[in-house]
Amino acid sequence: MPIVKCPNCGKETEFTGNEFRPFCSERCKLLDFGAWADEEYNLPIETSSMTEEDIDAIEKAQERK
């Protein structure tokens, strides 16, 4: 049976047959869920601005269609 580390506490636990996988326990599972609910996890936002060259290239590509 594969052994994995709990993403919350790092404790090694069996993956197969574990109803809380990939977590080691219900507690770790609920703590992780709470972090998601409180928006502690997020994805970085990338802002980029298009240059005039980018806009021209897009317009040319649309004209070719």
Model confidence over 28-54: pLDDT tens digits?
999 999 999 998 988 888 777 888 898
Q: What percent of the chain lies above the pLDDT cut of 90?
A: 58
Let me know: does 17 contact 1? Beta carbons within 8 Å: yes
Domain map (residue ranges) of the chain: 3-64
Quick one: pLDDT at residue 49?
Answer: 84
Q: Which CATH superfamily is domain 3-64 in?
A: Erythroid Transcription Factor GATA-1, subunit A (3.30.50.10)
Let me know: does 21 contact 15? Beta carbons within 8 Å: yes
Compute how many other C-beta atoms are within 10 angstroms of the C-beta atom of residue 25: 16
Quick one: pLDDT at residue 6?
Answer: 94
* Token pair recorded at residue 65: 């269609």
> Which pTM does this prediction carry?
0.59
